[in-house]
A and B are shown apart, each in its own frame.
Chain A
């Protein structure tokens, strides 16, 4: 069995080596991209085959965490959250009063580079840091001390649907706002987002933050992928996904939220490609700017979400039908959805990482400026040499492929606990596995495609 596993590892390595091609624009097209995409797809396919022959015990034990020590995670202190709130207020103030160049204003850099790439990645690797620093808990506890109490209960039937709406509103800004980095506009949007959810929290209590604040739900989802975590009063370490295997099964609304995460991430890549530009009749070589594609991007988002939810549902439905358990469609839809998280997280990392490499230099520039240090030279030279571009693309493609491999294994283990036997789990996974192999190819194609923005 070890040999099989070694084979998969070798395949991944081969794929990533084969994937070694230029990441940025001109270099992107120089190497035989198709070969690398096939390599990535085959790696994931090999994982499907491997997992289907792997003994049940081995698969399950993969996600069994190791206990490190007795450790009770302290409750989130309101003080840390208040600092988070103060930082947010400070950034909004800088957004309104600071430089108008988004590369020199701390607010857009903090939101799009430090939060949307940096913090989301950190959350996926380190666990739930957001519960400490989110800017709502502290102020809410403060007004609670003043005697303010929730005046209504957030209906249970609403589930996480409000979070989906909240996240889709964020996605609409990310994808379709004409100037999401404009410091003035962003300051107003951040302030409105905070006020809206704070009012929700005042009215409905902390349940609002848990089930209606989209970014918080996204961050908690990704935190479930971290290696370290706490359960039963102990610090445990395990293969990413162990918290999902040992955690509660999501309800339908949270399962759909997870699929929406992937849909938004995928469309955020697709809408930049030459392929998409050709569909909407835009010449990518003289891209007319974001303000010319607001409606197209909103329509694309509006299509991508239901299409991906339908595709996922179809894969699950076919799977349960294959093992004659059609009645368990809803249970399987919910139970297997978290397996999508590594895919969404891997793509999130791969898609935004190159931009972050530039943005982080601007962050350093803003910090240097604040402390009166010399100017920081922002370079994009690493997009201009074969070796660095290769390394960047390797990392991007690697994150996509590893995300899918993890998703395949995780999905199999989740199916095992749902359907009981190895055979049923393996057969039920067939359509979803095809979906994931296809998605690997799609994700790598997105990274390899020439972009017009």
Chain B
């Protein structure tokens, strides 16, 4: 506990130093505004929560909501932000880019939100961010897409609570090449998501002295996979798979039937099985295979106090399921991003002396000034390094092995493993 409050204040102090002078100057020059802002302090800070309540993201939306509500409750119990309570203003974006942009507009123009927050699905982020930029509404996304750090968005869009796919994939390569094998065959869905994995991992494994010996793209509407498996080259030492959608269970079952007891090493991304019970029939074949996890779903023997705190606040058991229903499996690998992002918003607002929408630009600057986030109750997934220029956070990645139907962490990739050269400097863009 004490460690966490120390770390939080360390971040806040650093950011506060940078913005303190700016805030004081503004207050002196604008006494009327200052009066306005002090009258405003009783009103809650309104965080527009762009929720995937309906559409293909609904399972994520449900858990992003629970996580965010828990974090906001704790923030309020601890006194809120700058002495003001925090209120989540939820709008359903239907997991739909067009509606996402409408929701952003609603936050800015109708519901008086101070910032927007929460989005997961990349296409919704990409559809919404331009409107947030035009409206100068700080937009905190939790999507793990590379679109923020790639430079395709804008200065008002920030991803400070979850790492991006490029970083995740890159961080896996050293472990895969050193422990599982150097000759990799990739099986991936044949569209942008799979292509990102293909491109990022191919580059990363080559940098480690390994090689991709086979690329097997699967059409997104495919529901039977056996016919693709003979294309796996004989020399393959590791299969890297990132299948998603309803076909995943069939994919795993058919892969198991194809290989029988003698199989190459298998490495996948838990995105395939997020919110799916690993004890489901047909998944036995996964025993002994490896997964990337954003945050370990199963409480580990060396579980931190921060992870305990995080699980308890949301109501999650040691298997990553709801304490109300052990079969209601959470989206544990991703939803910590909402929690951590809300604490970044808090730290940023405190550092900026945020008083109202007129301080939105200062909030962006304060967040850009953040550099490190220590492992703490506020950042239970692990310590982070934030890159203010690319608006992207970097953190540890976990590789877990399925042992007795549970994911046990066998390797923690360091923050540095996931870092790559900057592709943009948003701070050069006007606020």
Which residues of A approach B to under 8 Å, CB–CB? 25-30, 99-104, 178-179, 181-182, 274-275, 277-278, 283-292, 377-382, 384-386, 388, 450-453
Contacts and interface: CB of A to CB of B under 8 A. Distances in A.
20 contacts: A25-B245, A26-B276, A26-B280, A27-B249, A30-B249, A102-B54, A103-B92, A275-B221, A285-B244, A286-B193, A288-B96, A288-B123, A290-B99, A291-B98, A378-B62, A379-B328, A381-B328, A384-B275, A385-B277, A385-B327
B245 A450 contact: yes
B360 interface: no
A450 B90 contact: no
Interface in B116-161: 121, 123-124
Contact of B95 (A285, A289, A386): A289
Contacts of B275: 384
B340 to A, nearest CB: 22
B65 to A, nearest CB: 8
A144 B222 CA distance: 61
A305 B245 CA distance: 31
B220 A285 contact: yes
Contacts of B209: none
A283 B191 CA distance: 8
Contacts of B247: 26, 29, 450
Contacts of A381: 321-322, 325-329
Interface residues of B, number: 52
Contacts of B318: none
Contacts of B321: 381
Contact of B59 (A103, A277, A380, A452): A380
A101 B98 contact: no
Given A99-B90, A288-B96, A451 B221 contact: no
B91 interface: yes
A189 B169 CA distance: 46
Interface of B: 51, 53-56, 59, 62, 65, 89-92, 94-99, 111, 121, 123-124, 189, 191-193, 220-221, 223, 244-250, 253, 275-277, 280-282, 315, 321-322, 324-329
A57 to B, nearest CB: 48
A178 B221 CA distance: 23
A380 B53 contact: no
Contact of B327 (A283, A284, A379): A379
A108 to B, nearest CB: 9
Contacts of B95: 287, 289
Contacts of B220: 283-286
A181 B92 CA distance: 9
B90 A101 contact: yes
The dominant DSSP class at the A interface is: loop
A101 B88 CA distance: 11
B56 A453 contact: yes
A450 B246 contact: yes
Given A100-B91, A379-B322, A286 B123 contact: yes
Contact of B55 (A99, A182, A275, A453): A453
Contact of B94 (A27, A289, A388): A289
B328 A384 contact: yes
Contact of A451 (B53, B192, B246, B249): B246
B92 A101 contact: yes
A382 B322 CA distance: 13
A179 B95 CA distance: 11
B51 A29 contact: no
A278 B56 contact: no
Contacts of B91: 100-101
A425 to B, nearest CB: 42
Contacts of A287: 55-56, 95
